[in-house]
Amino acid sequence: MNEKEKKDYLAGYKKAKEKGVHFYPDILFKDAVVSLLIFILLAALAYFLGAPLEERANPSDTNYTPKPEWYFLFLFQLLKYFPGELEVIGVIVIPTLAIIFLFLLPVLDRSAKRHYSSRPWIIGITSVLGIGIIFLSIQSIRETPPPAEAGLGDPIAALYAENCASCHGPMITVPEGTNLHLIITQGSHEGGMPAWSGDLTNNEIDALAGFVLSPRGHELFNSNCGECHETAELVSSSPIELKAALNLGSEYPAHSELDIPNWDEVLSAQNRTSLLNFLVAPDGQRLFAINCSACHGRSVAYTGEEAELESLISQGGLHLEMPPWQEKLSSDDLDALARYVSSTDASAEDAELFSQLCSSCHGTLIPQMNDFDLARDKIATGGAHETMPVWGEVLTSEQLDALVSYTMDASEGTPLEVGRDIFSKNCALCHGDFGEGGVNPARPDDVIAPISSAEYLKTRDDHTLFQIIAQGQPNFGMSPFGSAFGGPLDDDQINTIITYMRSWEANPPVEYPPEMTLPDNVDLSGVEIFETLCSQCHRPDGSGIGPVLSDPDFQKNNTDQEIFNTISKGHPNSSMIAWSQILTDDQILQLVKILRNLNNDGSEAGTSGPASFANDVRPLFEEHCTICHGQMGGWNADTSENVINTGNNAPSVIPGDAKNSLLAQKMLGTQSSGGIMPPAGLLAEDQVRIILDWITAGAPDN
Amino acid sequence: MGSKIADWLDERLGWRSVWEAIFLRKIPKVNWLFTLGSATLFVAVNQAITGILLTLYYVPTPDHAYNSVQYITNEVAAGWLIRGLHHWGASAMVVLTVLHMLRVIFLGTYKYPREITWFTGVFLLIIVIGFGFTGYLLPWDQKAYWATTVGTKIASVTPGIGDWILRVMRGGPELSAVTLARFFGVHVWVLPSALMALSGLHLYLVIKIGISEMPGKDD
């Protein structure tokens, strides 16, 4: 626009103004009419639709699908077209360019022309932007998950298409070593990914993990095994078994009558690895649970180098460097070492002996053993891992890596235990063992709210928690705990407590009462109510949150009427709600009866019939024993006859005489030779009792 | 009597000249589309008034935010109306601002001599969007929490400083009480101040320069 055009414009505008009207009242009247209409519209919307308010924010509910306000929908939709690395284009580049375009509009378009027909470019670009925004918004509203592209008869691909494809597209690539099982199980707050553990079974999650981590293996499975096998029956079976089946081909017993080719001729080594990676996803936690926990429990204490651990696991039973110390040491020295590794109050001499003899291999690591006799036995005989399979020959390298890195991580879990200890000594008196709160001992009228709820923990950062613990909350009767404020705990201890409290986040021990609606016309029995509703918090045996319902003290101190009242009116200090709103008096009476029966400790229920080998006993053996014995032999649990007659020290069972049966002794820890079984620790009492009863009944094959 | 008081006041305030400058100024003949700007101003005033009333009861902490919003909706006299007007007013604000802007683009009104008016207008649009984003979290319901979680996460994609932006917006790595306090502060102090300053300038320019006429085919 040059000077003349400017002058012309101003002159023309002056004329237009002279021909025009006054702001007041002409224009102001129009404005007032429009404003009034808008106000009426807003008031009508407020009256008829109201302002929506959903459930209170629940940071632990990852099932919620976030949806922004409608005027951000187009941006949200735009993101879907720019996945992964390209995200930055949708989020930053395009919106920034749009804003810059808007801002610079008067600079870009400096011609004197004002009528739209003379400015096709500006009108065009604006229209494209406007229509684009409207289109994206509409698209976002109506967009439904893309149709599943599942191959027929391919349940895993269908599972993926149904559950994952709507967000992740046709396929996800994840970095190596991703603990996929855990991610799928727990979901991810950040990405808005729901926790699938509620909707999918463990096997399905395993199958999905294998599908994502080894797509090639999935194809191979479909073309080679899918005709006979369903994936779900094979995923997460023992890798030893899978490997054997793959290596033996037609020699493999279960395949012997079929026309099965030798796999090593049909499949390349690489393909066999892919297949194994698909069937047993390289997922440390699951691998540990399937393969190691039968002997090693929840985790192994390990502080050495990662490479060393890797060679240890891959060598397995070949790792026999540890000498049988009984040949070299006196009985007293063996006692001292065992004491050192199995108890915390060992003397300085014990420690000295350990550092002399053991630390050259074990380093500063003390192999944790809870049982003195077991420890002594281990040290005396040496060869700590002679019963351990040679995992290096069984697992693929991906699987081995995953297992090693999990074991490394898991062995660092000790601060948690320390934190729990400090918490129970210092905090549990007021906050309860699970941080569930209760009556404030400092002020009887006051109730302490739960500190272990997801909401509490989410809304306070570590620093805040630290301040609260260190300085106390004098207004609420909480004294300072930090040593800087005259309390008993130093900074490290407070941080350990916080670590422990954070462990609640993954699995909150206190939940707000679940939303429950019972259809009015369904008349549930007391047992059904207890199993579906009560046991959500109290556990089926009554040992969950709140008092232990089967505890004799609880039973003695509460009359039927008191228990009835608590159920019907709820408990003001806890998340126990007043059930009388949901249940009838009659149903609550039934519940009281059920609670009374919990005290009977199942001794009546357990003896309802003689234990059956096929239904009760063998499943226990299969779960806890065959993982090692199936491979390494020694003892065979297939049939009752084998249970009795096989084993290095057969007979393992003397029918009718549980006390003198070696099997029973090993399960009770009263054995005369060897260690207890299973090596990770004794079975639960009721499980042992089933097996003892079966032996006492003459070890029948029933 | 009335005119005497008016004269007395005019001698001291000079209100007549202000009245003439603002209300008696001449305006070119324009159509109904030119009411969009003042409609936006009206809704902004509506947001300010209802917003001030809401802060009388609203508590910006995670423990109480949700309850206080429930209280406003269910217990406070005409609370439902105040909250409803504020909620729908927010949407109306966005719609009207955008329509107003489209009208300005379509009629080429951003040209000489009204460039500065346009610049302030673009800033005002960004402020309105900022109001929408920060206000969304305040009820602390599921929608608020998760949409903000995702929204702040999206901003963190910015190359280089994304993580820093995320921490500044959330006041930490996670959405927390700090985030709520922060969003509340921005929503009721920072953005309103900016809105008042910029819309003051915007209005001053509109009155000073005058609103544009409808361009003819030859303009």
Lowest mean pLDDT segment, chosen from A162-166, A273-277, B132-136: A162-166
The residue-averaged pLDDT of B45-57 equals: 96
Which one is the CATH code of B34-209: 3.60.15.10, 1.20.810.10, 3.90.1300.10, 1.20.210.10?
Answer: 1.20.810.10
Work out the minimum CA distance from A308 to partner chain B, whole angstroms: 36
Q: Residue B112 and residue B202: Cα distance in Å, rounded?
A: 15
Q: Is residue A166 part of a domain?
A: no
End-to-end CA distance of chain A: 102
Percent of chain A with pLDDT over 90: 7
Chain A environment of B208 (Cβ under 8 Å):
none
Higher pLDDT, A456 or B121: B121
The residue-averaged pLDDT of A533-542 equals: 75
- Read off the CATH number of the domain in which A111 is found: 1.10.287
- What pLDDT is attached to residue A548? 75
Q: Is residue A701 part of a domain?
A: no
Higher pLDDT, B170 or A262: B170
Residue A209 has which token pair?
């993990």
Answer yes or no: do B88 and A45 touch at CB < 8 A: yes
- What pLDDT is attached to residue A144? 46
Answer yes or no: do A72 and B217 touch at CB < 8 A: no
> Please, what is the Cα angle at A545 between A539 and A549, to 5 degrees?
65
- What pLDDT is attached to residue B128? 97
Domain that holds residue A132: 60-143
DSSP state of A343: -
Residue A146 has which token pair?
């893309």
Chain A environment of B198 (Cβ under 8 Å):
none
Neighbour count for residue A73 (Cβ, 10 Å): 19
Chain A contact present for B70, CB below 8 A: yes
Cβ(A471)–Cβ(A480) below 8 Å: yes
Q: Residue B219 and residue B217: Cα distance in Å, rounded?
A: 6
Residue A442 has which token pair?
């400092």
Answer yes or no: do A69 and B155 touch at CB < 8 A: no
Q: How confident is the model over B35-44, as pLDDT tens digits?
A: 999 999 999 9
Q: How confident is the model over A10-30, as pLDDT tens digits?
A: 998 999 988 889 998 889 999
| Count of structural domains within chain A | 7
Chain B environment of A20 (Cβ under 8 Å):
26-30, 213
Q: Where are the alpha helices (DSSP H) in chain B?
A: 2-13, 15-22, 36-55, 65-74, 79-106, 115-137, 142-155, 162-170, 177-185, 191-209
Cβ(A568)–Cβ(A580) below 8 Å: yes
Residue A664 has which token pair?
């029973």
Answer yes or no: do A91 and B84 touch at CB < 8 A: no
- Looking at the DSSP bridge assignments, the partners of residue A478 are A473
Is pLDDT of A634 > 90? no
Cβ(A53)–Cβ(B145) below 8 Å: no
Secondary structure class of A408 (helix, strand, coil): helix
Most confident of A228-232, A270-274, B28-32: B28-32
- Given A30, A53, A76, the domain boundary residue is A53
- What pLDDT is attached to residue A240? 73
Q: Is residue A608 part of a domain?
A: no
Kindly indicate the confidence band of residue A521, based on its pLDDT and cuts at 50, 70 and 90: very low
Phi-psi map region of B6: left, alpha, beta (phi>0 left; psi -120 to 50 alpha): alpha
Chain B environment of A114 (Cβ under 8 Å):
107-109, 111, 212, 215, 219
The residue-averaged pLDDT of B130-147 equals: 92
Q: Where are the alpha helices (DSSP H) in A258-358?
A: 263-266, 269-279, 284-287, 293-296, 306-315, 331-342, 348-357
DSSP state of B212: P
Kindly indicate the confidence band of residue A286, based on its pLDDT and cuts at 50, 70 and 90: low
Are A196 and A270 found together in one domain? yes
Cβ(B157)–Cβ(A88) below 8 Å: yes
Which H/E stretch holds residue A551? Answer: none
Answer yes or no: do B38 and A31 touch at CB < 8 A: yes
Chain B environment of A13 (Cβ under 8 Å):
28, 210, 212-213
Chain A environment of B62 (Cβ under 8 Å):
57, 455, 459
Lowest mean pLDDT segment, chosen from A556-570, A600-614, B120-134, B169-183: A600-614
Residue B158 phi/psi, 5-degree rounding, is -45, 130
Kindly indicate the confidence band of residue A145, based on its pLDDT and cuts at 50, 70 and 90: very low
Kindly indicate the confidence band of residue A301, based on its pLDDT and cuts at 50, 70 and 90: low
Is pLDDT of B29 > 60? yes
Q: How confident is the model over A639-656, as pLDDT tens digits?
A: 888 888 887 777 788 888
Q: Residue B131 and residue A128: Cα distance in Å, rounded?
A: 26
Work out the minimum CA distance from B175 to partner chain A, whole angstroms: 7
Percent of chain A with pLDDT over 70: 67
Residue A7 has which token pair?
């002058």
Chain B environment of A66 (Cβ under 8 Å):
143, 146-147, 149-150
Lowest mean pLDDT segment, chosen from A72-81, A599-608, B173-182: A599-608
- Read off the CATH number of the domain in which A532 is found: 1.10.760.10
- What pLDDT is attached to residue A509? 63
- What pLDDT is attached to residue A604? 41
Residue B134 has which token pair?
């920060």
Nearest to A325 by CA among A370, A368, A361, A369: A361
Q: Residue A279 and residue A294: Cα distance in Å, rounded?
A: 20
Cβ(A698)–Cβ(A656) below 8 Å: yes
Neighbour count for residue B54 (Cβ, 10 Å): 21
Chain B environment of A28 (Cβ under 8 Å):
23
Kindly indicate the confidence band of residue A234, based on its pLDDT and cuts at 50, 70 and 90: low
Residue A220 has which token pair?
């191979």
Are A322 and A375 found together in one domain? yes
Answer yes or no: do A106 and B92 touch at CB < 8 A: no
- What pLDDT is attached to residue B201? 97
Largest CA distance in chain B: 70
- What pLDDT is attached to residue B140? 93
Are A48 and A67 found together in one domain? no
DSSP state of A145: P
Nearest to B217 by CA among A110, A10, A123, A113: A113
The residues near B69 (Cβ < 8 Å, ≥ 6 apart) are A53, B58, B83, B138, B139, B140, B141
Smallest Cβ–Cβ distance between B29 and the set A20, A75, A117 belongs to A20
Is pLDDT of A176 > 70? no
Q: Residue A554 and residue B21: Cα distance in Å, rounded?
A: 85
Q: How confident is the model over A463-492, as pLDDT tens digits?
A: 888 888 888 887 777 888 888 787 888 887
Answer yes or no: do B147 and A55 touch at CB < 8 A: no
Smallest Cβ–Cβ distance between B39 and the set A13, A34, A87 belongs to A34
Q: Is residue A131 part of a domain?
A: yes
Q: How confident is the model over A660-701, as pLDDT tens digits?
A: 888 888 887 777 766 777 766 677 777 888 888 888 888 888
Are A139 and A111 found together in one domain? yes
Chain B environment of A47 (Cβ under 8 Å):
81, 84
Is pLDDT of A607 > 50? no
- Looking at the DSSP bridge assignments, the partners of residue A447 are A439
Q: Residue B37 and residue B26: Cα distance in Å, rounded?
A: 17
The residues near A248 (Cβ < 8 Å, ≥ 6 apart) are A255
Kindly indicate the confidence band of residue B192, based on its pLDDT and cuts at 50, 70 and 90: very high
Answer yes or no: do A71 and B129 touch at CB < 8 A: yes
Contacts A–B by Cβ distance under 8 A? 251
- What pLDDT is attached to residue A148? 32
Are A297 and A404 found together in one domain? yes
Using CB atoms within 10 A of its CB, is residue A109 exposed (0-12), middle (13-18) or buried (19+)? middle
The answer, yes or no, to whether the previous bond of A215 is cis (omega within 30 of 0) is no
Kindly indicate the confidence band of residue A401, based on its pLDDT and cuts at 50, 70 and 90: confident
Answer yes or no: do B140 and A56 touch at CB < 8 A: yes
Cβ(B24)–Cβ(A24) below 8 Å: yes
Answer yes or no: do A38 and B42 touch at CB < 8 A: yes
Interface of B with A in 18-47 (CB under 8 A): 22-30, 32, 34-36, 38-39, 42-43, 46
Q: Is residue A154 part of a domain?
A: no
Residue A632 has which token pair?
């390494």
Is pLDDT of A321 > 60? no
Smallest Cβ–Cβ distance between A192 and the set B24, B91, B146 belongs to B146
Q: How confident is the model over A344-355, as pLDDT tens digits?
A: 555 666 666 666
Residue A116: C-alpha distances to residues A17, A120, A131, B30, B219 (Å): 21, 7, 17, 16, 9
Lowest mean pLDDT segment, chosen from A151-160, A437-446, B151-160: A151-160
- Given A253, A281, A309, the domain boundary residue is A281
The residue-averaged pLDDT of A127-149 equals: 75
Is pLDDT of A284 > 90? no
Q: Which residue's entry shows tokens 């008191």?
A: A562
Q: What is the ipTM of this complex?
A: 0.95
Q: Residue A207 and residue A205: Cα distance in Å, rounded?
A: 5
Q: Is residue A511 part of a domain?
A: no
Are A314 and A351 found together in one domain? yes
- The one-letter amino acid code at A518 reads L
Kindly indicate the confidence band of residue A218, based on its pLDDT and cuts at 50, 70 and 90: confident
- What pLDDT is attached to residue A386? 53
DSSP state of A478: B
Q: Is residue A339 part of a domain?
A: yes
Q: Residue A488 and residue A426: Cα distance in Å, rounded?
A: 9
Q: Is residue A606 part of a domain?
A: no
Answer yes or no: do B142 and A99 touch at CB < 8 A: no
Kindly indicate the confidence band of residue A494, based on its pLDDT and cuts at 50, 70 and 90: confident
- Looking at the DSSP bridge assignments, the partners of residue A22 are B26
Q: Residue A406 and residue A388: Cα distance in Å, rounded?
A: 18
Q: Which residue's entry shows tokens 């009629």?
A: B107
- Given A439, A472, A506, the domain boundary residue is A506
Is pLDDT of A372 > 70? no
> Domain extents for chain B?
34-209
Lowest mean pLDDT segment, chosen from A392-401, A553-562, B76-85: A392-401
Q: Which residue's entry shows tokens 């103004």?
A: A17
The residue-averaged pLDDT of A287-291 equals: 69
Does this model's pTM top 0.90? My answer is no
Q: Residue B89 and residue A381: Cα distance in Å, rounded?
A: 80
Work out the minimum CA distance from B149 to partner chain A, whole angstroms: 7
Answer yes or no: do B133 and A72 touch at CB < 8 A: yes
Chain B environment of A9 (Cβ under 8 Å):
112
- What pLDDT is attached to residue B83? 96
- What pLDDT is attached to residue A151? 36
Residue B170: C-alpha distances to residues A619, B54, B135, B137, B150 (Å): 52, 23, 14, 11, 12
Q: How confident is the model over A414-429, as pLDDT tens digits?
A: 567 778 878 888 888 7
Work out the minimum CA distance from A1 to partner chain B, whole angstroms: 8
Cβ(A418)–Cβ(A490) below 8 Å: no
Higher pLDDT, A198 or A279: A279
Cβ(A57)–Cβ(B140) below 8 Å: yes
Kindly indicate the confidence band of residue A579, based on its pLDDT and cuts at 50, 70 and 90: confident
Across all residues in chain A, what is the average pLDDT?
A: 75
Residue B193: C-alpha distances to residues A79, B116, B186 (Å): 32, 19, 10
Higher pLDDT, A296 or A441: A441
- What pLDDT is attached to residue A654? 84
Answer yes or no: do A79 and B111 touch at CB < 8 A: no
Secondary structure class of A444 (helix, strand, coil): coil
Interface of B with A in 97-136 (CB under 8 A): 101-102, 105-113, 115, 118-119, 122, 125-126, 129, 132-133, 136
Q: Residue A651 and residue B128: Cα distance in Å, rounded?
A: 84
Q: What is the DSSP secondary-structure string of B26-66? A: EE----GGGGHHHHHHHHHHHHHHHHHHHHTT---STTTHH
